[in-house]
Homo-oligomer: A and B are copies of this chain.
Amino acid sequence: MTTTESHPVRIIASTGPGQPDRTPELDELYRGFENELLVPLWTEIGDLMPPEPRSAARPHAWRWRNLLPLAERAGALVPVGRGGERRAIALANPGLGGAPYATPTLWAAIQYLGPRESAPVHRHTQNAFRFVVEGEGVWTVVDGDPVAMRRGDFLLTPGWRFHGHHNQSDAPMAWIDGLDIPFAHLTGSAFFEFGPDVVDDHSTPGRSRSERLWAHPGIAPVSAAGRPTPSSPIAAYRWEFTDRALDDQLALADEGYPGVVEPGHAAVRFTNPTTGGDVMPTIRAEFHRLRPGTRTRTRREVGSAVYQVFSGAGQVRVGDREWTVEHGDLFVVPSWQPLTIESDTGVDLFRFSDTPIFERLHQHRVRVEDGSEGVDR
């Protein structure tokens, strides 16, 4: 985004309803505005305040079959270490000027770690998570707690926790990182700090200490209970629990009981057990399962989301774009773009979004095809 300091403002006289006639006096006024770093509302309001949200971000899909080879190639050419910090390659939404932003608020990247490699320790106030679409063998050490990364797991690194990764296996591993980097960057609100250059704890426990304390259903340690924390204390949400919860929902539906989002569509949200709310203040994370032959109702929502196909395949329509997606593919749903997902053979999808931002600011709104509309819960 290059601006010339001397004339950062350029006012284009508009024509049409509500616009003044173009005259030499008006031009002179507009030059006066420019000199004083001023911009009139009346020339901008159509773009600035449209009837419904118009995100600069565009619907787009990235293919795992293209991403993974590039990540592997980066594994060969780009070392991991202090300074570069992570071998992470971010999705750059085509509407966002080349910035490494999946959406105006969210970062999504594929991260790759070769056999026996490790990534240095740092912390930042940006909230982060990882989702493992395939593979295993890496441990992420979060504030000293080693957390195994395995297929289907959803793993948290909430803001300001030191963390580094190390691959204890002889195979490379790739996974997805999600963060609120764009939001923090646009608002100038984040801090970053280096930790040790190497992770020193190379132990490989099956369960992290956080899970041993907190990942029991409806149960909290008395030593910490009753004190809500902004982010979840659970470092890993394991696939076996997610999978079972989805199966349970569909089985309940078969028996005639509520639970699923809509017929054939089960969905769970990962939550912070100390509040019942989202796992982190800026990021919502969910897992969706569509049975074979299911088509979701078309849905618009304030805020943006990124999906990754975990297994199966489906047809996705976002606004005027449509794709067939399969294992590992990622796609972006910009704010208020209508989304429909359909699957003949069934599909499992991981989803994350910036919804908590809008819910906390009372800006959230949902419109579903069936006519229901929710505002500002």
The reply on A371 being an interface residue by CB < 8 A is: no
Given contacts A37-B93, A48-B181, A214-B218, 8 further A-B pairs with CB under 8 A are A8-B92, A19-B83, A20-B78, A29-B77, A49-B192, A218-B234, A219-B270, A360-B360
Is residue A206 within 8 Å, beta carbon to beta carbon, of the partner chain? Answer: no
The complex places the Cα of A239 from the Cα of B17 at a distance, in Å, of 38
Copies of this chain present:
4
Instruction: Give chain B residues whose Cβ lies under 8 Å from the Cβ of A26.
Output: 77-78
- Closest residue on chain B to residue A222 by CB atoms: B267
A297 within 8 A of B: no
At the interface, yes or no: A59 with Cβ under 8 Å from chain B?
no
Q: Does A372 contact B (CB under 8 A)?
A: no
List 13 A-B pairs, Cβ < 8 Å: A16-B83, A23-B77, A26-B78, A37-B60, A45-B85, A104-B188, A105-B187, A125-B365, A184-B363, A216-B268, A226-B377, A281-B363, A360-B361
Using Cβ atoms and an 8 Å threshold, which residues of chain B touch A245? Answer: 216, 219, 221
Cross-chain contact A56 with B88 (CB below 8 angstroms): no
The residue that A190 contacts in the complex, of B49, B105, B272, with Cβ under 8 A, is B49
Q: Do the beta carbons of A376 and B230 come within 8 Å of each other?
A: yes
* A171 on interface, CB distance cutoff 8 Å: no
Please tell me if the beta carbons of A33 and B89 are within 8 angstroms of each other in the complex: yes
Q: Is the CB of B248 within 8 A of A90?
A: no
For A93, A159, A275, A362, which residue has the most chain B Cβ atoms within 10 angstroms? A362
Given contacts A181-B48, A188-B53, A275-B276, contact A85 B41 (CB under 8 A): yes
- CB pair A53–B219 under 8 Å, yes or no, is no
In the complex the two chains form, is B213's CB within 8 Å of A335's CB? no
Min CB–CB distance A343 → chain B (angstroms): 17
Q: How far is the CA of A306 from the CA of B273 in the complex (A)?
A: 26
B-side contacts of A335, CB under 8 Å:
187-189
Interface size class of chain A, counting residues whose CB lies under 8 Å from the partner chain: 35 or more
**Contact: A191 with B365, CB < 8 Å?**
yes
Whether A48 touches B361, Cβ cut-off 8 Å, given contacts A53-B189, A218-B214, A268-B221, is no
Contact A252 B213 (CB under 8 A): yes
Q: Which residues of B contact A356 (CB under 8 A)?
A: 361
Taken together as a complex, chains A and B put the C-alpha atoms of A124 and B212 apart, in Å, by 37
- 0/1 per residue, A193-210, Cβ < 8 Å to B? 100000000000000010
Q: Which residues of B are found within 8 Å of A89, using beta-carbon distances? A: 33, 38-41
Within 8 Å CB of A93, what residues of B?
A: 37
Q: Complex: how many Å from CA A10 to CA B193?
A: 27
Q: Please, which residues of chain B bring their CB within 8 A of the CB of A62?
A: 36-38
Tell me if A340 is interfacial: C-beta within 8 Å of chain B.
no
Chain B residues lying within 8 Å of A303, measured Cβ to Cβ, are: 187, 189
Contact with B along A67-99 (1 / 0, CB 8 A): 100100110011101111111111111111111
